[in-house]
Chains A and B, each alone.
Chain A
Amino acid sequence: MRWYYKLPLRLRSLFRNQQTAQELNDEIQFHLQHQIEEYVARGMDPKEARRAALRLLGGPDQIKEECREMRNVSFIENFLQDLGFGFRVLRRSPGFSALAIICLTLGIGANAAVFSWIEGLLLRPFPAVAQQERLLVLVGNNRVAGDKAASGSNPDVSWPDFVDLRNNCKLVDFIADKIMGATLSIGDRAEWVAGSIVSSNYFDALGIRPLLGRGFEPAEESGRNAHPVTVISYWMWKERFHSDGGIIGKTQLFNGVPHTIIGVAPEGFYGTFVGWPIQFWVPISMQEKFEPGGYKLEDRGELWIEGFVRLKPGVTPEQAQEEISSVAKRLETDYIATNRGRDIRLLPLWKAPFNQAGELGPMLKITMAVVFFVLLIACANVSSLLLVRSLGRRQEMTIRLAIGAKRSRLLRQLLTEGLVLSMFAAAGGLLLAYLCRNLLVVFFPSSGSIVANLKGEIDWRVIAVSACVCLISTLLFGLFPAIQASKVDLASALKSESGAVFGARGRSRIRSGLVLVQLSLSFILLVGAVLMVRTLQRTRSASPGFSTDNVLTTGVDLVSAGYDEQRAKTFDDELIGRVQALPGVESAAWARVRPFSYVPFSSAPIAVDGYRPAPDELPTAEYNQVGPGYFTTLGIPLLSGREFTSADDETAPLVAIVNEKMVAQYWRGEGPVGKRLQVKGQSMRVVGVAKLAKYSTFAEAPKAFFYVPLRQNFSIRNTLNIRTSVAPATLAASLAREIHALDANLAPFEVITMRESINFTALSSQRVVVALLGIFGGLALVLAAVGLYGVMAYAVSQSTRDLGLRMALGARRANLLWLVLSHGLVLTAGGVVLGAAGALSLTRLIENLLYKVSPRDPLAFGSALVVMAIASTTACLLPAWRATRTDPVRALRE
């Protein structure tokens, strides 16, 4: 009844079979002894007494058997027996087993790999962090017109808001985090590494104990640039400091500032950013040295912190959200200028908008669907193989039924055999997933020592899911053939199928049905893959609204060189003068952010005279700080007004150039030139209107955007853009010379065309989808072709007599070739029709990944059809050729 009585008993009966049997024997002997003694006492002869006692008991062996049955071990024993039998059966036909296991390994492996990516990137991205499920993302959100989340609303929060939330909420720990990059110079070697600006509780709240030294202390949060201390990663400690045991207390230069190393993070902790491993951490007080855009710790309008919260024990996300919302509401009324219409939300980790999770989520969802298709196709193949084999085992089944096996027992045995197959395949699949755990990294650009960190995680959940997939696929591929195989009646078992006519039998019709499903599924995948390839092509040649081919882009790292603002301004001006004097250079301009780069634009609340925001709306727009000649250099047309000039400097009145979308949204389309724009309370005069362009991605919706002169909103780290027809390599050399002339310690970053720069960032996610769809679509096609080949080859081998007869009656080889080919092509046509119907309804799901390609693009369907036709003709060709080689004499004699 209760498991704690039962379990030990069951296990005992199962594993200590010998002992249990012995005990049962003793018990019955004991009983017999007593009975015999009693009979003897009554005066019976001992021999007679023994016989009588046995008679009374009714045969010890039957009783033992009954007792064993009572112990309920037969189910498990039968299972083990079936398992052993399954192994032997598979060993007897190694070819069949290998083929089936390979098919299933690919199917299960693909699923396990994708799930391990989902696990390692979306669900549990930070393996070193204890209890990740209590970790949530803290995201700011601008309400626009009601409660709809504004697209492109800045998800970051300001430090003052963060501090207020932290002081007023008791249910969660708040963790501030901001990824940044810095130059790490050790000796004469400098490299670019990813770092993180964090709140002082960072390591404690995440449950990370530094390997050496300590984490940050609360006092290290305050004071502008007052605490140049850092915790470095295990990797940096090991690779760059050679595991120096006395590292604590030494100093290290980051961005030109000496930092005292106070701790080393434990092995396996890469920070809390999905995509790149973090190599060092600094306290929030050092923000100005690492995060561009000036000192932000006292500015409620500067949104830059990527926050996390950790639920305290027993707190639900809903309770935490409620508490945070009430504080956010209070902030909205207390700080109308910066917080109106802005609420704070908690999201699960996999919805984090500020790291690669947001980008990978939709991709992995699609991939999950794709690999499920692959699994179905693989199962159909194995099913088909099993159906063929069940023919060969009819005799065995007949005998088993004849000597009294129940059909359910036969079914169980056949399914167990299937389970053996998929158990092997699941083991192989997990191995495959393990080998593929780093595959995603290949698709992401890496630079220097910053190598993408996109690791699949194989933990017990992945193993559990794979086991489920294994069981489900066993049922998928095994149930039907098992039912078929156990459905033997003596009459039909005596008949032979070998004389039947080509391609017209029950069982082969079922197999044809399976092939049909396979072909249609792989057609759907093909269409998806072609659509993505076309998107990639379109994107490659798409215009983002500025020149891409005659513009080169590069930069100089003045921050690490220790330049202050004044020196940087002088340097920037002198360099522009020298570059413009170079032969072949039309124009050159500095800008803080290069479009389509990973560096985010600044964003700020704005106000426009005459525009009345909705009660809970806070108009916000992104902007870029650009130098004189930027629009000419990038080739962004100005629709009215003028470009920035060198006269628009610190001493001149503040000016701005707005884009078309902003005019439409805030000035109702009226010419805004000469009118006033307020940005964070500062008043600027609009001097021009720029044509709409793409700013961060090709897929983005048109957004309000404006530009301010770099001199009026200066930052030290800028990008240099040059309009020229000179080749990048040539220009790089002369640029290096000019920079060297200004400061012998400086060198430019790599000089690349704007197109290269865009391709580097904008296409990476599309490339991943294309590659994954390509790989899995190709796999599906191969599996389906193998399935088609199997069916055709088997059909041919089974109808030699029919084919021979046709030949004897005068059919020519071409006729037979066509007979087989046409049969295969009819199947293919059916598959394409079904697949096209499926694709028409399914490709809508990837519509948001497509760019200027309709999800019903006829070209995509057409190309998929061609590929499909080629693949299936190839698959049918060998069986068809074999059919033509039929020897009529031998075929008829058999």
Chain B
Amino acid sequence: MGKPTDLVQGTLDLLILKTVALQPMHGWGIAQRIKQVSKDVLQVNQGALYPALHRLEQQGWIQSKWGESENNRRAKYYSLTRDGAKYLRQQQAQWSRLSLAIDLVLNTT
């Protein structure tokens, strides 16, 4: 197995969408949250995070708004759009099916 920070291709989008689905969040917060929730297993490659955010915004799945951060700094907050929520549900279902299938294959003795 590789380093624990590696993310499976294409899962970054899913993780971002899931994270901002809970509440509007800025880039730094998203990276921290993913790390926390996954108990330090998943570490977002910071270089890939911002292009991904901009792409998702361009596709209309998330939208951004400038606001005040916890320590009173100007920060860009991302939140899920209605289309994004729909897309997230689809992707989540797909992911569950996939991981279930992989589980099945791996656990067959």
Q: Mark B50-85, 1 if CB is under 8 A from A, else 0.
A: 111011011111010010010001111000010100
A652 CB–B CB distance under 8 Å: no
Q: How far is the CA of A27 from the CA of B66 in the complex (A)?
A: 10
A67 CB–B CB distance under 8 Å: yes
A31-B27 CB under 8 A given contacts A63-B47, A70-B51? yes
Q: How far is the CA of A31 from the CA of B27 in the complex (A)?
A: 7
A504 CB–B CB distance under 8 Å: no
8 Å CB contacts to B: which residues of A402-436? Answer: none
B51–A67 CB distance below 8 A? yes
A701 CB–B CB distance under 8 Å: no
A58–B47 CB distance below 8 A? yes
What is the distance, in angstroms, from A359's C-beta to the closest C-beta of chain B? Answer: 55
What is the distance, in angstroms, from A61's C-beta to the closest C-beta of chain B? Answer: 11
CB-nearest residue of chain A relative to B45? A58
B47–A30 CB distance below 8 A? no
B46 CB–A CB distance under 8 Å: yes
B57–A9 CB distance below 8 A? yes
B28 CB–A CB distance under 8 Å: yes
8 Å CB contacts to B: which residues of A5-28? Answer: 5-6, 9, 23-24, 26-28
Q: How far is the CA of A69 from the CA of B51 in the complex (A)?
A: 8
B26 CB–A CB distance under 8 Å: yes
A63–B73 CB distance below 8 A? no
What is the distance, in angstroms, from B44's C-beta to the closest C-beta of chain A? Answer: 11
CB-nearest residue of chain B relative to A65? B51
User: Which of A26, A35, A67 makes the CB contact (< 8 A) with B54?
Assistant: A67
B28–A31 CB distance below 8 A? yes
B58–A70 CB distance below 8 A? yes
A62–B47 CB distance below 8 A? yes
A23–B76 CB distance below 8 A? yes
Q: How far is the CA of A27 from the CA of B54 in the complex (A)?
A: 11
A733 CB–B CB distance under 8 Å: no
A334 CB–B CB distance under 8 Å: no
Contact residues in A for B83 (Cβ distance below 8 Å):
1-2, 5
Q: How far is the CA of A59 from the CA of B26 in the complex (A)?
A: 19
A30–B58 CB distance below 8 A? no
Q: How far is the CA of A6 from the CA of B54 in the complex (A)?
A: 12
Query: Which of B58, B59, B61 has the largest number of chain A CB atoms within 10 A?
Result: B58
Contact residues in B for A1 (Cβ distance below 8 Å):
59-61, 83
A56 CB–B CB distance under 8 Å: yes
User: Which of B45, B50, B59 makes the CB contact (< 8 A) with A28?
Assistant: B50
8 Å CB contacts to B: which residues of A47-90? Answer: 56-59, 62-63, 66-67, 69-72
Contact residues in B for A34 (Cβ distance below 8 Å):
28
A59–B47 CB distance below 8 A? yes
A30–B75 CB distance below 8 A? yes
A26–B60 CB distance below 8 A? no
A33 CB–B CB distance under 8 Å: yes
Q: How far is the CA of A59 from the CA of B57 in the complex (A)?
A: 22
Contact residues in A for B46 (Cβ distance below 8 Å):
31, 35, 56-58
What is the distance, in angstroms, from A57's C-beta to the closest C-beta of chain B? Answer: 5
Query: Which of B28, B54, B66 has the largest number of chain A CB atoms within 10 A?
Result: B54
A30–B26 CB distance below 8 A? yes
CB-nearest residue of chain B relative to A58? B47
Q: Mark B1-45, 1 if CB is under 8 A from A, else 0.
A: 000000000000000000000000011100000000000000001
Interface band, chain B: 20 to 34
What is the distance, in angstroms, from B24's C-beta to the closest C-beta of chain A? Answer: 14
Contact residues in A for B74 (Cβ distance below 8 Å):
26, 30
Contact residues in A for B27 (Cβ distance below 8 Å):
27, 30-31
Q: How far is the CA of A800 from the CA of B23 in the complex (A)?
A: 78
Q: How far is the CA of A114 from the CA of B47 in the complex (A)?
A: 59
Contact residues in A for B75 (Cβ distance below 8 Å):
27, 30
Q: How far is the CA of A882 from the CA of B47 in the complex (A)?
A: 67
What is the distance, in angstroms, from B75's C-beta to the closest C-beta of chain A? Answer: 5
Contact residues in B for A59 (Cβ distance below 8 Å):
47
User: Which of B58, B76, B81 makes the CB contact (< 8 A) with A72?
Assistant: B58
What is the distance, in angstroms, from A500's C-beta to the closest C-beta of chain B? Answer: 52
Contact residues in A for B50 (Cβ distance below 8 Å):
24, 27-28, 31, 63, 66-67
A2–B60 CB distance below 8 A? yes
What is the distance, in angstroms, from B60's C-beta to the closest C-beta of chain A? Answer: 3
Q: How far is the CA of A781 from the CA of B80 in the complex (A)?
A: 65
A27–B60 CB distance below 8 A? no
Contact residues in B for A72 (Cβ distance below 8 Å):
58
CB-nearest residue of chain A relative to B27? A31
CB-nearest residue of chain A relative to B86? A1
A5–B63 CB distance below 8 A? yes
CB-nearest residue of chain B relative to A53? B46
Q: How far is the CA of A130 from the CA of B66 in the complex (A)?
A: 49
A70–B55 CB distance below 8 A? yes
Contact residues in B for A5 (Cβ distance below 8 Å):
60, 63, 81, 83
CB-nearest residue of chain A relative to B62? A5
CB-nearest residue of chain A relative to B56? A70
A26–B76 CB distance below 8 A? yes
8 Å CB contacts to B: which residues of A155-171? Answer: none
A57–B51 CB distance below 8 A? no
A66-B51 CB under 8 A given contacts A5-B81, A30-B26? yes
Contact residues in A for B60 (Cβ distance below 8 Å):
1-2, 5-6
Q: How far is the CA of A781 from the CA of B26 in the complex (A)?
A: 69
CB-nearest residue of chain A relative to B51? A66
B76–A27 CB distance below 8 A? yes
Query: Which of A2, A27, A62, A72 has the largest number of chain B CB atoms within 10 A?
Result: A27
Q: How far is the CA of A814 from the CA of B75 in the complex (A)?
A: 84
What is the distance, in angstroms, from B9's C-beta to the closest C-beta of chain A? Answer: 17
Contact residues in A for B66 (Cβ distance below 8 Å):
23
Contact residues in B for A66 (Cβ distance below 8 Å):
50-51
Q: How far is the CA of A27 from the CA of B64 in the complex (A)?
A: 11
Contact residues in A for B58 (Cβ distance below 8 Å):
6, 9, 70-72
Q: How far is the CA of A33 from the CA of B45 in the complex (A)?
A: 17
A33–B59 CB distance below 8 A? no
What is the distance, in angstroms, from A11's C-beta to the closest C-beta of chain B? Answer: 13
What is the distance, in angstroms, from A5's C-beta to the closest C-beta of chain B? Answer: 3
Q: How far is the CA of A62 from the CA of B45 in the complex (A)?
A: 14
Q: How far is the CA of A31 from the CA of B74 in the complex (A)?
A: 11
B28–A63 CB distance below 8 A? no
Q: How far is the CA of A57 from the CA of B49 in the complex (A)?
A: 9
A57-B28 CB under 8 A given contacts A1-B60, A6-B58? no
CB-nearest residue of chain B relative to A23? B76
Q: How far is the CA of A747 from the CA of B67 in the complex (A)?
A: 91
CB-nearest residue of chain B relative to A69? B51
A57–B47 CB distance below 8 A? yes
CB-nearest residue of chain A relative to B82? A2
Contact residues in B for A69 (Cβ distance below 8 Å):
51
A30–B28 CB distance below 8 A? yes
Contact residues in A for B81 (Cβ distance below 8 Å):
5
What is the distance, in angstroms, from A400's C-beta to the closest C-beta of chain B? Answer: 28
CB-nearest residue of chain B relative to A33? B73
What is the distance, in angstroms, from A30's C-beta to the closest C-beta of chain B? Answer: 5
Q: How far is the CA of A62 from the CA of B60 in the complex (A)?
A: 23
Contact residues in A for B76 (Cβ distance below 8 Å):
23, 26-27, 30
CB-nearest residue of chain B relative to A30? B75
A71-B54 CB under 8 A given contacts A2-B60, A30-B74? yes
CB-nearest residue of chain B relative to A3? B60
User: Which of A6, A9, A35, A70 makes the CB contact (< 8 A) with B28?
Assistant: A35
CB-nearest residue of chain A relative to B32? A34
- Listed by A's residue number, 17 A-B pairs whose Cβ atoms lie within 8 Å are A1-B59, A1-B60, A5-B60, A6-B60, A27-B50, A27-B75, A30-B27, A30-B69, A30-B74, A31-B27, A31-B28, A31-B50, A34-B28, A35-B46, A63-B51, A70-B58, A71-B54
The 10 closest A-B pairs by CB, nearest first: A58-B47, A5-B60, A1-B60, A66-B51, A70-B55, A70-B54, A34-B28, A67-B54, A57-B46, A27-B76
Interface residues of chain A, those whose CB is within 8 Å of chain B, are: 1-2, 5-6, 9, 23-24, 26-28, 30-31, 33-35, 56-59, 62-63, 66-67, 69-72
Known A30-B27, A30-B74, A33-B73; further 7 A-B contacts with Cβ < 8 A: A27-B26, A27-B50, A27-B75, A30-B76, A31-B50, A34-B28, A70-B55
